[in-house]
Amino acid sequence: MRSVPLAVLTATLVALSGAALAADEPKNLVDYRSAVMRSLGGHAGAIAAIVKQQVSYDHVAAHAEAIAATAPAVRDVFPENSGPDDYAETDALPAIWENPEDFAEALEAFETAAAAFPAAAQSGDRAQILEAFQKLGGSCGACHEDFRAED
Ligand code: HEC
């Protein structure tokens, strides 16, 4: 009767060790970072369509809040083992890890702009929304300029 529990235990351990091996592998880290970035890009693209008045949806505040809620996660998605030496498919440049102070500045500018955006979005004032959106977009672009490889 020992064989059944042992088999169950063994299967569980195999599954757990498989999960432990897969977690935080460079490819998974890069894929996750891409997913986070694409989510920011999706919301920013939706806001752009609204502020350009291509659509008349009144969703700017919802997208602004989604960006503000996601922004603090961005500093987590650049761990050491997720650079081009670890996984060639990434567009993250080595400068991220070589110039951590400059990278931290880019992160802070982005976090500040993202945190300020929901209040501007809720104001309903077009000029205020545009200004806050430009600041936010500028902070995305500044980081990409220095720390992201061009396609
Ligand atoms: C602190 C730096 C930084 C900030 C801030 C930042 N990004 Fe990025 N972003 C990157 C880097 C680095 C990459 C490349 C990631 C990779 O390939 O591993 C990237 C990639 C992307 C991608 C491509 C994702 C893919 O794999 O298809 C999009 C879209 C994107 N960012 C949008 C945004 C938007 C929109 C913002 C602002 C709301 C933003 N990013 C803010 C550094 C940043």
Residue of 115, 135, 138 whose CA lies nearest to 64:
115
Compute, in degrees rounded to 10, the torsion defined by CA atoms 90, 91, 94, 96: -110
Q: How far is CA 82 from the centre of its chain?
A: 14
- How far away, in angstroms, is 97 Cα from ligand 1 center? 16
**Residue 115: pLDDT band by 50, 70, 90 thresholds?**
very high
Please check whether residue 121 is in contact with residue 129, taking contact to mean a CB–CB distance below 8 angstroms.
yes
What is the average per-residue pLDDT within 142-150?
97
Place of tokens 């999960």: 19
- How far away, in angstroms, is 140 Cα from ligand 1 center? 7
Cβ of residue 50 lying under 6 Å from some atom of ligand 1: no
List C-alpha distances in Å: 25 to 21, 74, 91, 104, 121: 7, 18, 17, 24, 38
Query: Of 15-19, 25-29, 44-48, 106-110, where does mean pLDDT reach its minimum?
Result: 15-19
pLDDT for 141 equals 98
> What pLDDT digit, counting tens, does each position of 62-112 carry?
999 999 999 999 999 999 999 999 999 999 999 999 999 999 999 999 999
Best substitution site from 89, 145, 148 to test ligand 1's pocket, by max atoms within 8 Å of Cβ? 148
